Structure 1
Amino acid sequence: MTAVPVSPDATAAVPVGEFRDLMSAFPSGVAVVTALDAEGAPHGLTCTSLSSVAVDPPTLLVCLNLRSGTLDAVRARCGFAVNLLHSDGKRAAEVFSSATPDRFSQVRWERSRQVGAPLLVEDAFATAECVVGDVLVVADHAIVIGRVVDIVQRTDDPLLYGFRRFSSWKL
């Protein structure tokens, strides 16, 4: 297959609102990405930009806003946790997507075994601890590649987000 060059006129960006509408029509699971900063303070944010990258070695990626304190903490400690929220985790998803100053005072959490990142023990049905493998900046976000070093998982119904609302996938 031969690549065909695309003319610069064909690559004009679509309006932001149209792109948001497109992505809202693609439901996904809801995660809270967490990390401790250099001083040991916890940071976290709600994230639906999560994907597996490779199985061997187990690797995933998350996309974090460049202005995020969570991204700063991930970079400072070179590690983070992905907390996959269960269907009753909507309140945690809302807390970590808000401007609430002390988000961690509103949830129960404990430090993870490998990288010390906060685990949302009551709101997550699965967690993955990751060591940062690479960070790639694209526009106003960073794609953070994480090598998974520990997983804790139990069976539960995942929390989903699509069409700008939360839902669950009942098993």
Structure 2
Amino acid sequence: MDLTHLDEKGQARMVDVSEKDVTKREAIAQAIVTMLPNTLTMITEGKHKKGDVLATARIAGIQAAKKTWELIPMCHPLMIAGAKVDIQAISATELRIEVRCKVADRTGIEMEALTAASIAALTIYDMCKAVDKGMTIGEIKLLKKTGGKSGDWNAE
């Protein structure tokens, strides 16, 4: 399979999507933030002195989705139709961030969902690092994508 961001000489390029059809596209991505149990309790009970960690992370994720084209060199600017960031405790030490992004455009929205999940996780880390420097961010991955020429895809 050829890499679409390289031309015939192997030089980086932005893919020309001008001839592609506009289709509805959706992507779902996740990130997992692992922390001490006391840190998670502080977050979920809203007792952090810096404010609502989860609300701030959701806003940061949405903002990141909108700015992905400015952060990732070969990404196209997209008119995002929707971005939802859901954050849930999945154990006594883990938060799962799930991002769903939608667009009607000529190119996919996977990078926007992945960027949103990553930035939401980094925001949680930033707000809580004073109480838990050992937090880790992991399992940043695409869970599902629909639409476009390549069709639908689901993680196993």
TM-score by length of 1: 0.25
TM-score by length of 2: 0.26
Structure richer in helix, relative to its length? 2
Higher relative contact order (CA 8 A, sep 6+): 2
